[in-house]
Amino acid sequence: MTDAVTLIQAKRDGRRLADDDIRWLFGAYADNQVADEQMSALLMAIYFQGLDSRELRTWTAAMIDSGDRLDLSELGKPTVDKHSTGGVGDKVSLILAPLVAACGAAVPQLSGRGLGHTGGTLDKLEAIPGFRSSLTPRETIDILKAAGCVIAAAGPGLAPADRRLYALRDVTGTVESIPLIASSIMSKKIAEGTDALVLDVKVGTGAFMKSYDRAKELAETMVALGAEHNVTTAALLTSMDTPLGRAVGNGVEVEESVAALQGNGPDDLMQVTIALAEQMLALAGLEKDPREAIASGAAYAAYQRMIRAQGGDPDAPLPQARHTKELSASQDGWLTRLDALQVGVAAWRLGAGRERKEDPVSAAAGIICLAKPGDRVAKGQPVLELRTDDAARFDAAMAALDGAMTIGEHQPQAPASLVIEHVVG
């Protein structure tokens, strides 16, 4: 007879878990026959010993089977989603979902909230007056029919085991495990019922994965999981050493996203967005040019439909911060570095992010990058504009930015592309 202690000991000692044992584990955990302390011990054993490909496939399937699956078959068009591992200034989803929808796909994007220095898509959209991110499955499908895209929170019925395991990982130091990260992301994405999925795996100082090797391993693991569960999956590794675009925060990123949909997006942001859009359309089997959807206004129109369908007013003014402060260049020269992690932490300290899931966030707080690496700056020229509703937050934010920028005598060579590599199954 299977029991939790035997499974903990097996994984602790580096032995593989049988498929039936994994399925038993999730059923027993759902019935509270396995205590949180025991599941925590098993997660720590997995952190050190890993899961092989078969274990991971079964583990992910058990997480999916712990809840419901969305049935998107009635939409009558190809469905494709995108997931980002998170970065600083990463507002790509706000542009990408309506952009790909305008090209003929249905985009059911289930997103999350920010934690720490990485922003959350739902926090950004909820800066829009009236916007609702909590939808029933029926509402999700109806909005997809009406607008072509939806960005919403994963409902409690989708992979509920993941919600419980993530909470345990967060407080037991087991978040940074590639099998556990991959199963967490992919169980929700597979349960949402999409035909295809493109992953944006960030690499660099502002990313969850700091090294190329770890990012590549995570991307390959998730692409394989998608294929094993009949979701056509590909991944792009993209650079996250510098904030993406010029806005970091919630409302400020919505403003920049709208500008991008209207054809006025920063080059770095558009480079990543277009690369992801092209990959999504390829997986969906649609031969469309996303640039044309922006130029024609179709992408912005899809965005407006989505926001209205989710209760928001796309024309309403966004919240504005009560206080601003500038950080200026210390000398003449070329801005050669602007550290994404430090800018993200500063925005968080200004109120744009949260330390715990239950913390509130400010819709108006954030940072505007007035200069980016490659720009010429003069001594005293503002490089960053800090925004907050609480002036007492400035000191902590400025402390986070100590050493965040480097100014040199020579213009830095721009990277050939922020897209480092494509990973396909």
CATH of the domain at 110: 3.40.1030.10
The active-site residue, picked from 57, 91, 117, 169, is: 169
pLDDT mean across residues, the chain: 95
Q: Which of 365, 356, 424 is nearest to 397 (CA)?
A: 365
Strand partners, 83: 199
Active site residue 184: yes
Same domain, 225 and 265: yes
Same domain, 234 and 97: yes
Active site residue 357: no
Same domain, 214 and 141: yes
Backbone angles phi, psi at 209, to 5 degrees: -100, 110
Q: How many CA atoms within 13 Å lie on the side-chain side of 55?
A: 17
The active-site residue, picked from 113, 188, 202, 305, is: 188
Backbone angles phi, psi at 49, to 5 degrees: -105, -15
- Distance between CA atoms of 24 and 5, rounded to whole angstroms? 13
Is it the case that residue 114 has pLDDT exceeding 90? no
- Distance between CA atoms of 351 and 279, rounded to whole angstroms? 34
The active-site residue, picked from 162, 241, 268, 339, is: 162
The active-site residue, picked from 82, 83, 189, 387, is: 83
Q: Is residue 383 part of a domain?
A: yes
- At residue 307 the predicted structure's pLDDT band, cuts being 50, 70 and 90, is very high
Please state whether beta strands 107-111 and 149-153 pair in parallel, antiparallel, or not at all (unpaired): parallel
* Domain range for 356: 323-408
> Quick one: pLDDT at residue 111?
87
Tell which of 290, 316, 342 closes a domain: 316
- Distance between CA atoms of 60 and 186, rounded to whole angstroms? 7
In whole angstroms, how far apart are CA 267 and each of 120, 270, 417? 22, 5, 11
Same domain, 102 and 215: yes
pTM here is 0.95
Q: What is the three-class DSSP state of 157?
A: coil
- Distance between CA atoms of 107 and 231, rounded to whole angstroms? 14
Same domain, 259 and 384: no
Contact yes or no for 335/372 (Cβ under 8 A): yes
> Quick one: pLDDT at residue 154?
86
pLDDT tens digits, one per residue of 290-300: 999 999 999 99
Q: Is residue 237 part of a domain?
A: yes
How many residues are recorded in the chain?
425
Same domain, 77 and 13: no
Contact yes or no for 256/357 (Cβ under 8 A): no
In whole angstroms, how far apart are CA 68 and each of 157, 185, 187, 229, 405? 5, 16, 11, 15, 47
> Quick one: pLDDT at residue 171?
83
Contact yes or no for 261/294 (Cβ under 8 A): yes
Same domain, 96 and 185: yes
- Hey, which bits of 88-138 come out as E strands? 107-111
Radius of gyration of the chain (CA): 22
pLDDT tens digits, one per residue of 348-386: 999 998 877 677 899 999 999 999 999 999 999 999 999
- Distance between CA atoms of 423 and 308, rounded to whole angstroms? 35
Q: Is residue 365 part of a domain?
A: yes
Is it the case that residue 115 has pLDDT exceeding 80? no
Active site residue 162: yes
Same domain, 258 and 330: no
- What CATH number is given to the structural domain containing 342? 3.90.1170.30
Q: How many other C-beta atoms are found inside a 10 Å radius of the C-beta of residue 375?
A: 17
Contact yes or no for 162/26 (Cβ under 8 A): no
- Distance between CA atoms of 249 and 351, rounded to whole angstroms? 9
pLDDT tens digits, one per residue of 233-253: 999 999 999 999 999 999 999
Residue type, 319: P
Q: Is residue 416 part of a domain?
A: no
Q: Is residue 414 part of a domain?
A: no
Same domain, 339 and 309: no
Measured in whole angstroms, the distance separating CA 364 from the mean position of its chain's CA atoms is 20
The percent of residues above 90 in pLDDT, for the chain, comes to 89
Q: Which of 241, 258, 309 is nearest to 88 (CA)?
A: 241
> Quick one: pLDDT at residue 149?
98
Q: Return the exposure string of 70-90: e unless at least 16 CB atoms fall within 10 Å of the residue's CB, then b.
A: bebeebebbbbbbbbbbbbbb
Is it the case that residue 119 has pLDDT exceeding 80? no
Q: Is residue 56 part of a domain?
A: no
Backbone angles phi, psi at 115, to 5 degrees: -145, 125
- What CATH number is given to the structural domain containing 16? 1.20.970.10
> Quick one: pLDDT at residue 346?
97
> Quick one: pLDDT at residue 353?
87
- Distance between CA atoms of 162 and 185, rounded to whole angstroms? 9
Active site residue 169: yes
- Distance between CA atoms of 387 and 378, rounded to whole angstroms? 22
**Domain total for the chain?**
3
Q: Which of 325, 239, 293 is nearest to 100 (CA)?
A: 293
Same domain, 135 and 77: yes
Q: Which of 7, 104, 19, 24 is nearest to 54 (CA)?
A: 19
Is it the case that residue 113 has pLDDT exceeding 90? no
Contact yes or no for 276/198 (Cβ under 8 A): yes
What are 283's two structure tokens? 């997986």
Tell which of 252, 282, 316 closes a domain: 316
pLDDT tens digits, one per residue of 181-231: 999 999 999 999 999 999 999 999 999 899 999 999 999 999 999 999 999
Torsion angle in degrees (nearest 10) through CA of 364, 367, 372, 377: 120
Q: Is residue 413 part of a domain?
A: no
- At residue 1 the predicted structure's pLDDT band, cuts being 50, 70 and 90, is low
pLDDT tens digits, one per residue of 5-35: 999 999 999 999 999 999 999 999 999 999 9
Same domain, 243 and 283: yes
> Quick one: pLDDT at residue 355?
74
Q: Is residue 64 part of a domain?
A: no
Same domain, 341 and 257: no
- At residue 414 the predicted structure's pLDDT band, cuts being 50, 70 and 90, is confident
